[in-house]
């Protein structure tokens, strides 16, 4: 099954990023394709590359990077939401990409499921 994920909340403040990640991980483990994680609202701040959490805390941006590199999951930040929040190509992780809401529409159309996480 092909699954798209919509993540609407920033990292750390809320558990949404963690649940989305755990869900994606479990879906991949069960043999599903996680096509993309689309970041909207404050969710776009999930892919800022200067995140530097304490060593004993999870590295949320790093985790998304890994999901892209190991499993080919596109990690896409909405351009309109990003511009509002000062997120640009210069500040995002290598595995992330900034794209338009049209891409989210394509994700909604081409996948069997769109699962949303947020506050």
Partner 1 sequence: MLHTINKSPFENTTLETCVRFVQPDDPILFIEDGVYAVQANNRFAALVGDTLKSNPVYALQPDLDARGIADITEGVVAVDYEGFVELVEEHQVNSWL
Partner 2 sequence: MEDNTDVKKIMHVMRRAPHGSIYTYEGLEMILIMAAYEQDLSVAFIGDGVYALKEDQDTAGIGIKGFAKTFMALDGYDVEKLYVDKTSLEERGLTEDDLLVDVEVLASEEIGRLMNEQDVVVPH
Is there binding between residue 1 and partner 1 (CB under 8 A)?
yes
| Closest alpha carbon to 87 in 119, 39, 52 | 39
**Which range of residues in 22-30, 64-72, 80-88, 95-103 is near partner 1 by CB under 8 A?**
22-30
Rounded Cα distance between 110 and 119, Å, is: 25
Residues pairing with 4 in the sheet: 36, 114
Is there binding between residue 40 and partner 1 (CB under 8 A)?
no
DSSP designation for 41: G
CA dihedral of residues 58, 61, 64, 68 (deg, nearest 10):
-130
Is there binding between residue 15 and partner 2 (CB under 8 A)?
no
**Which range of residues in 25-33, 51-59, 69-77, 91-99 is near partner 1 by CB under 8 A?**
25-33
CB of 47 to partner 1, least distance (A): 20
Count the site residues for partner 1 by CB under 8 A. 21
């Amino acid at each position: 099954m092909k699954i798209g994920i919509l993540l609407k909340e920033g990292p750390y403040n809320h558990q949404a990023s963690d649940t989305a990640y755990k869900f994606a991980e479990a879906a991949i483990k069960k043999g599903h394709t996680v096509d993309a994680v689309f970041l909207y609202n404050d969710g776009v701040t999930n892919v800022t590359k200067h995140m530097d959490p304490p060593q004993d805390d999870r590295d949320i941006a790093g985790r998304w990077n890994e999901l892209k590199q190991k499993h080919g999951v596109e990690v896409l930040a909405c351009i309109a939401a990003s511009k509002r929040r000062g997120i640009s190509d210069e500040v995002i992780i290598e595995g992330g990409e900034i794209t338009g809401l049209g891409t989210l529409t394509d994700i909604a159309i081409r996948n069997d499921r769109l699962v949303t996480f947020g506050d």
